[in-house]
Amino acid sequence: MPTQNLPVEPCILVIFGASGDLTARKLVPAMYEMAKAGLLPSNTRILGVSRRPKSDDEWRAELEPWARKHNADLDESVWRDVASRIHYHAADATTADGMEAVARRIEDLDSQANTRGNVLFFLSVASSLYEPIVERIDAAGLVVEGKRWCSLDPTNASWQRIIVEKPFGEDDQTARALNRTLGRAFEEEAIYRIDHYLAKEIVQSLLVFRFANVLWEPVWNQQFIDHVQISAVETVGVGQRTAFYDQTGAIRDMIQSHLFQVLAFVAMEPPTDYTPHHVRNEKVKVTDAICPTPLDRVAEFCALGQYGPDGTGDPGYAASEGVAAGSTTETFAALQLHFENWRWAGTPFYLRSGKRLAEKRTEVVVQFKPPAANLFRKLPILADAKSLEPNRLVFSIAPDENLSLRFEAKRPGFGIRIDPLEMVAALDRNGDEPVVEAYGPLIIDAMRGDQTLFKSRIEVESAWDAVMPFLNDASAAARSGIRDNYAPGSWGPESARALLARHGRRWYEEDRGT
């Protein structure tokens, strides 16, 4: 059954990490927006759990300014209604006593609100606490028989699901360990590995663009596409987050998580239909088909960098407070990935992310091959002209949401002169639709039992497998000399340009001439 049609079932949303930044800044404002949109069932309850003691009212008062900050025209009656359904429980969720007290509170709220035993857990704590908390949830008996496909009456069974925030592991091993811990407590159908990046309109519109049109699918393969660039680059530096970032770097922070999701939607086969099972199966096949990068040649397949000083006070990444001496953590990474499958064999995908670069941009660039033959090559008027420009499709995700297609056209006038034209379609065209926080629709999906936009266990693990050569000792050669190897405001280290240039390719901005 298409899960879009499934009802949003009331539940108790239990947020571990209630005192934290994510809860106040994103999660609770997102639930207000869902209530305002009429999507949150009236008997849904939110139970925040963290260690600091406070009452329900104190927590509501703490959250209100964040809801107002997020929604300049806060609807007072909707907020009052949502606030009345917000509760707080002070507990250390990693202890048996703490979790048993949480279980009693859930039971009370469930009987008051008639949420029929449905519980949606949200792990919004430091990732080191994910496993201890999941083990406590399990030990406290909070996960009863889930809503299995084989239930006698699936509409009448309670469910318990869990949303897990990024980072999902620090490497292949820790991700597998976390998956095993989750799997001991929850069925895979009850585990929602969130990536709020996926709720971005344009990422979903990639699917519609590819599969609701007849034009693209016949040319969406290695026969017609030369290469694909997926970039998420920004102008800001690491700021105050040096201690966190120095343990993380661009590959873990952006590429393994967010950019792999975009990659999956660009490269996947057409799913049978838009249901979680079919979409997720196709996404898994994409990451599964990535060729392992040869460990003795990693430097040929990537460019890594750290931004240097800017001459106006920023000492550069390596000299920033909180960065370990001699750190080789990358603030810029460009990876070249290849697929071993029929659709993409021989067509590289370049994934790039970096800080303190020339522009803030997130985009997918699909570079087609040139036409098989140039019919105009012998015209005298073209004798000194360069060869035909291949078609290029650009999905711009940020700052503008649009789609642009470059194609060759005849310049009006005598004879044949050919110039590239750029056709641009704005995708953020519905100004009446309110812009909502990405978390809201995803939490509603979890309440509906729709896993389409959440990552599966195998997808996460194979994404880690694909990036490990760029993170472990095999990447030492690519990391040597990384310090200050690109200037703030540039497009990254020289090795990034060379990564494409050695195959006769250029990054989109070089092509645009910016």
Ligand X SMILES: NC(=O)c1ccc[n+]([C@@H]2O[C@H](COP(=O)([O-])OP(=O)(O)OC[C@H]3O[C@@H](n4cnc5c(N)ncnc54)[C@H](OP(=O)(O)O)[C@@H]3O)[C@@H](O)[C@H]2O)c1
Residues with a known catalytic role? 258
Q: Which residues pair with 16 in a beta bridge?
A: 49, 123
Binding mask 135-174 for ligand X (x = CB under 6 A): ------------------------------xxx-------
**Is position 69 an interface residue for ligand X (rule: CB under 6 A)?**
no
| Dihedral sign (CA 209, 287, 130, 469) | negative
As beta bridge partners, residue 12 has 45, 119
Output 50 or 160, the one with its CB closest to ligand X. 50
DSSP 389-436: PPPEEEEEEESS-EEEEEEEEEPSSSS--EEEEEEEEES---TTSPP-
Q: Are strands 332-337 and 302-305 parallel, antiparallel or unpaired?
A: antiparallel
Is 22 an interacting residue with respect to ligand X (CB under 6 A)? yes
Torsion angle of C-alpha atoms 108, 110, 111, 115, degrees rounded to 10? 170
Between 51 and 180, name the residue whose CB sits nearer to ligand X. 51
Of the pair 140, 298, the CB lying nearest ligand X is at 140
Q: Please classify residue 423 by burial: count the beta carbons closer than 10 Å to its beta carbon, then call 0-12 exposed, 13-18 middle and 19+ buried.
A: exposed
Indicate the residue among 92 and 401 with the shorter CB distance to ligand X. 92
Q: Which of 9, 16, 31, 290 binds ligand X (CB under 6 A)?
A: 16
In the complex, minimum distance from the CB of residue 435 to ligand X, in angstroms, rounded to a whole number? 17
Query: Smaller CB distance to ligand X: residue 239 or 380?
Result: 239
Q: Are strands 160-164 and 302-305 parallel, antiparallel or unpaired?
A: unpaired
**What is the token pair recorded at 40?**
């949150």
Interface with ligand X, residue 27, by CB under 6 A: no
- As measured in angstroms, the least distance from the Cβ of 466 to ligand X is 21
| Structure token digits, residue 296 | 């003795």
Q: How far is the CB of 327 from ligand X (least distance, A)?
A: 20
Q: Does 256 bind ligand X (CB under 6 A)?
A: no
Q: Which of 12, 30, 32, 92 binds ligand X (CB under 6 A)?
A: 92
- Told to check if 330 binds ligand X by CB under 6 A, we report no
Q: Given the structure tokens 């990876």, which residue do they identify? A: 335
The least distance separating ligand X from the CB of residue 338, rounded to whole angstroms, comes to 30
Based on the shown chain and the rule CB under 6 A, indicate whether residue 21 belongs to the binding site for ligand X: yes
- Of 30-38, 87-95, 288-296, 378-386, the segment contacting ligand X by CB under 6 A is 87-95
Give the DSSP per-residue string, 326-338. Answer: T----SEEEEEE-
CB nearer to ligand X: pick between 167 and 440: 167
CB-closest chain residue to ligand X? 20
List the one residue out of 498, 446, 453, 509 whose CA is nearest residue 159.
446
Q: What are the distances in angstroms from CA 385 to CA 288, 371, 417?
A: 43, 16, 9
CB of 194 to ligand X, least distance (A): 9
Start-to-end C-alpha separation, the chain: 48
Query: In terms of CB distance, is 98 or 305 closer to ligand X?
Result: 98
Stretch that binds ligand X, among 19-27, 376-384, 407-415, 471-479 (CB under 6 A): 19-27
* x/- track of binding to ligand X for residues 381-410 (CB under 6 A): ------------------------------
Which one of 17, 249, 276, 469 is in contact with ligand X (CB under 6 A)? 17
Shortest Å distance, C-beta 441 to ligand X: 16
- Residues 107-136 contacting ligand X, CB under 6 A: 124-127, 129
How far does CA 235 lie from the centroid of its chain? 19
On whether the CB atoms of residues 221 and 343 are closer than 8 A, the answer is yes
Does residue number 94 form part of the binding site for ligand X (CB under 6 A)?
Answer: yes
Strand partners, 398: 362
By CB under 6 A, residue 49 contacts ligand X: yes
**Segment near ligand X (CB under 6 A); pick from 43-51, 169-177, 250-258, 480-488:** 43-51
CB of 195 to ligand X, least distance (A): 9
For residue 137, give the H/E element and its range: helix 130-139
Tell whether residue 93 is a contact of ligand X (CB under 6 A). Answer: yes
Does 52 interact with ligand X (rule: CB under 6 A)?
yes
Tell whether omega for the bond before 292 is within 30 degrees of 0, i.e. cis.
Answer: no
Binding of residue 50 to ligand X (CB under 6 A):
yes
Q: Which stretch binds ligand X (CB under 6 A): 13-21, 113-121, 339-347, 435-443?
A: 13-21
Closer Cβ to ligand X, 89 or 406, answer by number: 89
Residue whose token pair is 């298409």 = 2
Report the side by side order of strands in the sheet with 191-193. 86-90, 45-50, 12-16, 119-123, 160-164, 191-193
Closest distance between ligand X and the C-beta of residue 191, in Å? 16
How far is the C-alpha of 194 from the C-alpha of 119, rounded, in Å?
A: 17
Near ligand X by CB under 6 A: residue from 20, 41, 390, 481: 20
Closest CA to 14 of 116, 87, 114, 95: 87
- Total residues in contact with ligand X, by rule CB under 6 A: 22
| Nearest-approach distance from CB 94 to ligand X, in angstroms | 4
Half-sphere exposure of 440 toward its Cβ, with a 13 Å CA cutoff?
19
The binding site for ligand X (CB under 6 A) comprises 16-17, 19-23, 49-52, 92-94, 124-127, 129, 165-167
